[in-house]
Amino acid sequence: MVICAATGGGSQWNGERLQQKPGLLTLRVVAMRYLAQGTHLYELRDMEDGVLPSAEAGAHIDLHLPNGLVRQYSLVIGEPGSRSYFIAVKQDTEGRGGSHWLHNNLRLEMLLEVGLPRNNFPLVSDAEQSVLIAGGIGITPILSMVRELRERGSVWELHYSCRSRSEMAFLEMLPKVPQVHLHLDDENDGAFLDLGRIVSAAPPAAHLYCCGPLPMLQAFEAASAGRMRERVHVEYFKAPEPTAATRSFIVELARSGRTVVVPCGQSILETLLDAGVKVPYSCSEGICGACETVVLDGTPEHRDHILSEAERATGRTMMICCSGSKTDSLILDL
């Protein structure tokens, strides 16, 4: 059921057109659709209905909201030649405010500044088998993976869990095939999806993907702890641990020649912003990758949820919004 759809023309925000900014797209809201209880689908298009930059399955975009918030949402569809981006947003009453603003303030023909697609949750193209696990709104990036795996003719399976059928988004878009397994808590005496069983049943060479609420992701990581880390893939919507530094240290900025002291309890990003240093950032929780910075000297204390163990071991880059330092100082390429 479509809530409403726009027909084009007159795209404005508070009576003033948005000016295109470097690295950002200016997109208009052309349609809003009810997907499931508490979840809406939004369609975004270029002001001239042009072709948008393509995105791989698992990619997300940053929405720069008019109230100053920047939030990340997975793309449902981002194939080459597409003129629309689709995002699904579930209202989270205990969240950081982004979903609440969208559900209560977004209107047709509004303009939004949108970051280019980034992918921290990509499919491995040569996997012998892919096991996809989605909880609630976590189906959003997984849905594009299902489409791509089917097009490739790959071996895959999907386990999609929700508390009730009324909360199950995209149900009508899922293929009616044996590889799709649905789990409704309220139809199973309140029992959660058995992640241990799913993980243990997967062949050792299989790649496992999980996206969903934090308790599900933590249970999944515990269940898959014995597997090769490069075959376990997780997409977080929010960070599971605090992001502030646990010790004070010095940060030298190689390009500008500046030096700042990061106090205990504060992040590198917060310290740099307080000092008037302009750096790219978005989520501030180590889950989007926007603030990834090259490390020229020193040893980072990685606390992000993007870099692999191998990438962390090199110490070449770090997410300055959440990671700290194991050494007394760091030299960053800033």
Q: Which CATH class is domain 249-332?
A: alpha beta
| SS3 (DSSP) at 297 | strand
How far apart are the C-alpha atoms of 287 and 290, rounded to whole Å? 9
How many CA atoms, within 13 angstroms, populate the side-chain half-sphere of residue 156? 27
The fold for domain 130-235 equals Rossmann fold (3.40.50)
The fold for domain 2-115 equals Elongation Factor Tu (Ef-tu); domain 3 (2.40.30)
Residue 265's beta-bridge partner residues? none
- For the question of whether the overall pTM of this predicted structure is more than 0.85, the answer is no
Domain ranges of the chain: 2-115, 130-235, 249-332
Q: Which of 133, 120, 4 lies closest to 61 in space, CA to CA?
A: 120
pLDDT string in tens for the chain (334-residue length): 334 444 444 334 443 445 556 679 999 999 999 999 999 999 999 999 999 999 999 999 999 999 888 889 999 966 667 899 999 999 987 666 889 999 999 999 999 999 999 999 999 989 999 999 999 999 999 999 999 999 999 999 999 999 999 999 999 999 999 999 999 999 999 999 999 999 999 999 999 999 999 999 999 999 999 999 999 999 987 766 655 567 899 999 999 999 999 998 899 999 999 999 999 888 888 888 889 999 999 999 999 988 988 899 999 999 999 999 999 999 999 9
Per the CB < 8 A criterion, the answer to whether 167 and 37 are in contact is: yes
